[in-house]
Amino acid sequence: MGTFLRKRRASLTPKDVGLAEYGSRRVPGLRREEVAMMAGVSVTYYTRLEQGQHLNASDSVIDSLARALALSEVERQHLYDLAGTKRKGISRPTSKPDFARPGTLRLIESMTDVPALLLGKRSEVLAWNELGHALVGSHLDFADPQEPASRPNLTRMLFLDPRTRDLYPQWRLEASRAVASLRLLSGRFSNDSQLAALVGELTLKSPEFATMWSEHPVDNCMSGMKILNHPRCGQLELDYEVLSMPDDSGHRLLTYTAVAGSSSETALKGLLSA
């Protein structure tokens, strides 16, 4: 939480939050006194928050900080996740592997014309249909998601798997989305040891991930467009949608679609036979 507050404070200017600016500043961003004033807390208290001493931070304090730092709704929720103010007393499993529910498996298997993947809360692939496998994991075994030991992880693949990296001509955009999403998940599931291990692994093995992670980006990437350079059918422009399951599992359904009548739709339809 302290890192997140410092990063957001450094990213703002007095003009961004409606304050007058006097004189030069030795470091960029707002001063601690300015954030404390706008949030209605003492400078000493705010300093303790940036030092990670936030166990007694109330909902009203978190709300005030979110307003003072001009946080987006996603960033505001992330701040709540980091502070833990709305989840005190709730325990979560720290390392229990997830599995797709039978009904969810049947759902994605029935989507024969749409690439679909079921992701866990660590961005691991719990299941994929044939088209989803052919689109993003054709160099892997179709059965890999069934076993936690061999289960692919989209974020790990993006940074550490050369074939996945080659799939995205706009790799840096994809990477920034992945890191921002993983930051959000790390706040939401802060007690998950496997998620922490994933972050540690990527930080050690990928300098690019380490740099992006240190910036503390946060975003809920639920929809948009991806460009893929597929080895079997060429360039694809696909819209993606991420649908969160209405429970506390953290499971998300990721689907890809192409504009009707486009060359991408034609290529997608022929992907399994390519």
Rounded mean pLDDT of 24-51?
Answer: 83
pLDDT band at 1 (very low <50, low <70, confident <90, very high): confident
Domain residue extents for the chain: 2-83, 102-269
Rounded mean pLDDT of 90-119?
Answer: 81
**Which single residue is written with the structure tokens 């998601």?**
145
Q: What is the pLDDT of residue 235?
A: 94
Rounded mean pLDDT of 29-38?
Answer: 85
Whether the per-residue pLDDT at 89 is higher than 60: the answer is no
pLDDT in tens, 197-208: 899 999 999 999
Q: Interhelix angle for 2-10 vs 73-83, to 10°? A: 150
The bridge status of strand 234-244 relative to strand 252-257 is antiparallel
φ, ψ dihedrals at 234, nearest 5°? 80, -155
Contact present, 79 and 71 (Cβ < 8 Å)? yes
Contact present, 14 and 22 (Cβ < 8 Å)? no
Please, what is the end-to-end C-alpha distance for the chain in angstroms? 48
- Provide the Cα torsion 160, 164, 170, 176; round to 10°: -40
φ, ψ dihedrals at 132, nearest 5°? -65, -40
d(CA 204, CA 3): 19
- Provide the Cα torsion 227, 229, 230, 233; round to 10°: 90
Beta bridge partners of residue 242, listed in sequence order: 254
Q: What is the pLDDT of residue 174?
A: 96
> Within a 10 A sphere around the Cβ of 200, how many other Cβ atoms?
10
Most confidently modeled of 5-9, 49-53, 246-250?
A: 5-9
**What architecture does CATH give domain 2-83?**
Orthogonal Bundle (1.10)
Q: Which of 82-86, 104-108, 120-124, 214-218 shows the lowest per-residue confidence on average (mean pLDDT)? A: 82-86
pLDDT band at 96 (very low <50, low <70, confident <90, very high): low
Contact present, 190 and 84 (Cβ < 8 Å)? yes
Q: Interhelix angle for 59-68 vs 73-83, to 10°? A: 140
Rounded mean pLDDT of 222-243?
Answer: 94
d(CA 136, CA 74): 27
Average pLDDT, the chain: 87
pLDDT in tens, 117-175: 999 989 999 999 999 999 999 999 999 999 888 899 999 999 999 999 999 999 999 99
Q: Does residue 78 or residue 91 have the better pLDDT?
A: 78
d(CA 240, CA 256): 5
d(CA 141, CA 119): 17
Q: Do domains 2-83 and 102-269 have the same CATH topology?
A: no
Cα 116 → chain centroid: 18
pLDDT band at 24 (very low <50, low <70, confident <90, very high): low
> Within a 10 A sphere around the Cβ of 51, how many other Cβ atoms?
12
Report field, pTM of the whole predicted structure over 0.85: no
Q: What is the pLDDT of residue 91?
A: 41
pLDDT band at 92 (very low <50, low <70, confident <90, very high): very low
Rounded mean pLDDT of 235-259?
Answer: 91
Rounded mean pLDDT of 227-248?
Answer: 92
Q: Which fold has domain 102-269?
A: Beta-Lactamase (3.30.450)
